[in-house]
Structure 1
């Protein structure tokens, strides 16, 4: 397992100061190669990135945590995809929105919350329930955190515990993801994210503003993890029969399908989809996180990539990263296909 072009592309991200550092894993069947490049921090002083450091996964929380619990509940018959969410969330008043809409980002929920980041948890919860369904409902995929915040509250209503506690109990612990947590105990073991006027250097606390306010009740962000733990997750996704109590095999195998309402909006449950042509045309799962994290999983070829950076350090949004990131993923997909 070489992946020389992919590793060179990762090194360029560091050499060209697009990101402070990169932690990665390349999974090919039973083989796993991991690596660490560059710095964990550039301010207040440079700090070498060490193997095993913890990253704020941002929106990878959606697929690693919230979606996984949801798939369990679907497999248990406690949820159905086309049930209106008002069945569990009576404070949401539009009964057209279903579980499927939330999971595929086709709910069309829009709206503006004034001074959102200054609200407390109670105020933010109330404000999120005032959002409304817009013109993209049921046909267009528009990625939005609110979908997985509401999904987290639905899980809480079903299980009687905040979504992040449910994720720990139902996903992290049984998969042996011992370094994954929503509450890091040692901030210095975490790579820092942005420096903001309000919070200073963010390290060991969730970067996402909504996640910072909602804490345990946020299903869209908040999970911290390591390369090794995400390798465990990816391997379980590639072999769900070996972790069937956590990752229901029937649902996991069907994630490569388009689950949007009309089957043409190009989104799975939770995961985004991309296509590869080798050795035959098939779909690959992927998802990213705002802080600079990324997973690619190819179930057919038993391959995956874990790609972790803190691209928002010391300042967000670091737009040059987005094009470079996509180039890295393109290099990986081409290289793993032998192109």
Structure 2
């Protein structure tokens, strides 16, 4: 297990200045190879990237934390894909939107919230619940954080605890993800994200503005994790029967299906779908985070990749990274077929 071409692509991201640093792992069944490349920080001074550092994984929170808990509730019959959001969140007025719409980003929820990032949590909560459903409802996949913020609030209604507290208790702790947390206590162990006029160097605090406001009630962002812990998560996905109380196998095994209304939008429950070509064409699940993170999981081949970067350091959003990220994924999917 060497993945020379993928490693070369990762090194090129750093040497070409696309990202300051990369932490990664390749998973082949029980075999795991990890590495770090480059810098954790460029400002206020250069700081080498160290193994075991915590990353703000941004939207990986959706699939690691929120989706895992939702799948548990679905398996227990305490929640159903056909439930209307308004059944659980009465302030939300459009009864057409279901749990399945939220999970697949086909809810069509849209709208503009003036001065959103300056609102306090109660005002932001009220504003989000007053958004409306647009023309993409039930037709197109339009990725939006609000879907998983709503899912987090629905979990809270059922379990009577904030989503991040529930995710810690029901996912991170039982999977042995001992370094993962929503509340880092040592900022120096965290890889910094952007430098902003309002917040300075963001380090050890959630980068996402909505996550910063909503705190433990945010199901779309807020998790900090390490390569080792996310490797454990991916391994649990490859063998859900060994972690059945956390990742219900009857649901995990169906995540390679397109769950959108058209069955053609390339989206499962939570995860995005792509294709690997060997030994025959088959689906693979993956998800990314705004800060420069992603997971790729191939259950059929018992393989996965964890890829963590600090692409928004020191300046967000660093859009050239996106094409490079997709190229790395393509290289990995092609190369792992030849291992």
**TM-score where L is the length of structure 2:** 0.99
- Which residues in structure 2 correspond to 1:50-129 (within 5 Å)? 50-129=50-129
The Cα shift of 1:60 comes to 0.2
The Cα shift of 1:169 comes to 0.5
C-alpha separation between the residues in 1 aligned to 2:219 and 2:301?
30
The Cα shift of 1:338 comes to 1.8
Q: Map Cα deviations across residues 238-296 of structure 1 (whole Å, 9 max, x no partner).
A: 00000000000010011000111232222100000001221011100000000000000
C-alpha separation between the residues in 2 aligned to 1:325 and 1:275?
16
Unaligned 5+ runs, structure 1: none
C-alpha separation between the residues in 1 aligned to 2:266 and 2:225?
28
- Which residues in structure 2 correspond to 1:1-339 (within 5 Å)? 1-338=1-338
C-alpha separation between the residues in 2 aligned to 1:225 and 1:208?
15
In the alignment, is the contact (CA less than 8 A) between 2:104 and 2:141 conserved in 1? yes
Moved over 2 A (4+): none
C-alpha separation between the residues in 1 aligned to 2:273 and 2:134?
24
C-alpha separation between the residues in 2 aligned to 1:41 and 1:180?
20
In the alignment, is the contact (CA less than 8 A) between 1:267 and 1:273 conserved in 2? yes
C-alpha separation between the residues in 2 aligned to 1:95 and 1:337?
45
DSSP-derived class of the 2:250 partner: helix
Q: Which moved more, 1:179-188 or 1:272-281?
A: 272-281
DSSP-derived class of the 2:254 partner: helix
RMSD value, Cα:
0.7
The Cα shift of 1:160 comes to 0.2
In the alignment, is the contact (CA less than 8 A) between 1:100 and 1:261 conserved in 2? no
C-alpha separation between the residues in 1 aligned to 2:263 and 2:330?
25
The Cα shift of 1:72 comes to 0.2
C-alpha separation between the residues in 2 aligned to 1:160 and 1:238?
30
In the alignment, is the contact (CA less than 8 A) between 2:277 and 2:334 conserved in 1? no
C-alpha separation between the residues in 1 aligned to 2:166 and 2:262?
31
C-alpha separation between the residues in 2 aligned to 1:319 and 1:279?
34
DSSP-derived class of the 1:25 partner: strand
The Cα shift of 1:85 comes to 1.1
Aligned length: 339
C-alpha separation between the residues in 2 aligned to 1:202 and 1:145?
20
C-alpha separation between the residues in 2 aligned to 1:34 and 1:276?
22
Q: Map Cα deviations across residues 288-309 of structure 1 (whole Å, 9 max, x no partner).
A: 0000000000000000000000
The Cα shift of 1:99 comes to 0.2
In the alignment, is the contact (CA less than 8 A) between 1:41 and 1:48 conserved in 2? yes
Q: Which moved more, 1:253-262 or 1:201-210?
A: 253-262
Q: Map Cα deviations across residues 75-127 of structure 1 (whole Å, 9 max, x no partner).
A: 00001101101111001010000000000000000100001011010110010
C-alpha separation between the residues in 1 aligned to 2:168 and 2:118?
28
